Amino acid sequence: MKEHPEFDICVFGSVNADVCVYAERAAGLGETRFGDRYALNLGGKGANQAIAAHRLGAHVRLLGNTGDDIFGAFVRQELARFGVATDLIGVAGSYPTGMASILVDAAGRNAITVVAGANLTASEAEFKALEEVLKPKSALLLQCERSPAANLRAARKARNVGACVVLDPAPVPSGETLKTLAGLVDIVTPNETETEALTGIAPTDRASTEAAADALHGMGFRIAVLKLGARGAFVRAPELRRHVAAPSVACVDSVAAGDCFNAALATRLCAGSSIEAAVRYACAAGALSVSRPGAAASAPTAAEIASFAPDLSA
């Protein structure tokens, strides 16, 4: 897939350094356990989504902030290594670079604690840059690792130019923030845990999944795409209720799988795919991501998805 103006993806998001610890299970309160290994990686939902979209052929602009510290230098170096431009990454000198502590257990499941640091800052220069890079046929990817006020302002700017706004509601925002965002967001993509936190409904079977998706639609989100892990995804659009199965893979590491999903979803929508086709493609991207370790490094290329699921490559 080659770069094309219709594939413009703008990511307004977090940039973190991730400390990943791999262990058979997480330690309980008051307990000390040995892990198997650890790694320092580039992370943050914003950085992960930007890299994933770039690997799928999109022209990507990432807007975010780091601290003026060694971790800030590290994440910039890693972004450049992955091919994502860093010219719109600001430096918030009085804040540390965002940091995530990630535990990955033997089943590939993860538990993440984030210290937002510089991700909670936003400058007028950043919003001016956002206005310049947003286009009517582009997509704006948002997550909730930046401040609610900044996300709302970014979403309004995207809505003003007719860009598609895709929200990953993680960490789950407060009720008032969510209510305002709902009217500005085109597609919301919670996972199972986030879906229950947002709606009070655990999506454990078809009936509860539909009920949760309907609840999100009732909140004002035009399209809800529930990410259901190994079960795939459920799409609730004005004229569509559809479960989309995920390809079967052995789960090695689920970190950033949702970010790969969102990047793939937005990229295919910008290319003109239907919401159902885009979700099928996103499920394949997420499946490939969990089959290998790492966050940004686990994002598949368009060629890899084409080989993995030939019927989805368009």
**H helices then E strands: how many in the chain?**
10, 13
Residues annotated as catalytic are 259
pLDDT at 311 over 90: no
CA distances from 82 to 76, 262, 298 (A): 10, 18, 12
Place of tokens 């299970």: 25
Crossing angle (nearest 10°) for helices 45-55 and 257-270: 50
Q: Which residues pair with 225 in a beta bridge?
A: 235
pLDDT at 1 over 80: no
Q: What is the pLDDT of residues 182-229, one digit of tens each?
A: 999 999 999 999 999 999 999 999 999 999 999 999 999 999 999 999
> Residue 23: which H helix or E strand, with range?
none
Query: Higher pLDDT residue, 12 or 253?
Result: 12
169 close to 141: Cβ distance less than 8 angstroms: no
Q: What is the pLDDT of residues 35-88, one digit of tens each?
A: 999 999 999 999 999 999 999 999 999 999 999 999 999 999 999 999 999 999
Distance CA 28, CA 148 (A): 32
Q: What is the structure's pLDDT at 313?
A: 53
- Per cent of the chain over pLDDT 70 is 97
CA dihedral 43, 46, 48, 52 (to 10 degrees): -170
Q: What is the structure's pLDDT at 298?
A: 86
Q: What is the pLDDT of residues 274-285, one digit of tens each?
A: 999 999 999 999
Q: Which residues does 91 contact at the CB level (< 8 Å), separation at least 6?
A: 65, 66, 67, 68, 72, 118
